[in-house]
């Protein structure tokens, strides 16, 4: 029976050792859920502090922008509007000046046409005719002129072109200012 007793002792030792092993195993498993989060909490707190600092800086920057935009709106906007009104007056003067330049251009074109027409009517050989009427012209020409020196060229009734008057477009400088 010693064998039985010896066998039960072994079984008891096994049971104890199984219990011990279970206790040890439970102690080890009990340490698994225990996590040391102190380092992570410190990092998280540091990040939160940094974000709060940035948010505060952004908020103060936003307040400065609001204040400056209000001062610009209140101070510079009326001045800018008055300058725009002044510019409208300048634009009107420029438009009038452009119209005046157009009128002057058309007058110059009309005079050029009349000058060209007069040159055609008088013929370009009038210089030669004038030279031939001089007494010295006999030295240079072989032909004798059939015209007499005092003979006048026929003239047409000349009428001056109608021109613009600057007084119509430019008033005294005191009224413009």
Question: What are the DSSP calls for the chain, one per residue?
Answer: -HHHHHHHHHHHHHHHHHHHHHHHHHHHHHHSS----HHHHHHHHHHHHHHHHHHHHHHHHHHHHHHHHHHIIIIIHHHHHHHHHHHHHHHHHHHHHHHHHHHHHHHHHHHHHHHHHHHHHH-TTHHHHHHHTSTTHHHH-SSPPSS-TTPPPP-----PPP---HHHH---HHHH-
Rounded Cα gap, residues 100 and 164, in angstroms: 9
pLDDT tens, per residue, the chain with 177 residues? 444 555 566 666 666 788 888 898 898 888 887 777 888 899 999 999 999 999 999 999 999 999 999 988 888 888 888 999 999 999 999 999 999 999 999 999 999 998 888 888 877 666 666 666 666 544 555 554 444 444 455 556 777 777 778 887 777 655 544
Model pTM score: 0.42
Residue that has been written with the tokens 């634009």 in this structure: 91
User: Which tokens in the block code for residue 48?
Assistant: 């939160």
């Amino acid at each position: 029976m010693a064998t039985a007793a010896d066998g039960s002792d072994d079984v008891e030792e096994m049971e104890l050792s199984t219990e011990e092993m279970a206790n040890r195993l439970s102690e080890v498993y009990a340490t698994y859920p225990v996590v040391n989060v102190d380092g992570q909490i410190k990092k998280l707190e540091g990040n939160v502090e940094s974000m709060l600092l940035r948010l505060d800086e952004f908020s103060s920057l936003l307040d400065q922008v609001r204040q400056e935009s209000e001062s610009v709106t209140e101070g510079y906007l009326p001045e800018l509007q008055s300058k725009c009104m002044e510019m409208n007056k300048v634009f009107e003067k420029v438009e009038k000046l452009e119209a005046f330049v157009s009128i002057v251009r058309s007058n110059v074109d009309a005079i050029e046409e009349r000058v060209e027409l007069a040159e055609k009517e008088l013929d370009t050989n009038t210089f030669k005719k004038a030279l031939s009427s001089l007494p010295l012209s006999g030295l240079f020409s072989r032909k004798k002129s059939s015209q007499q020196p005092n003979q006048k060229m026929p003239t047409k009734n000349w009428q001056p072109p109608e021109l613009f008057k600057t007084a119509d477009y430019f008033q005294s400088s005191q009224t413009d200012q």
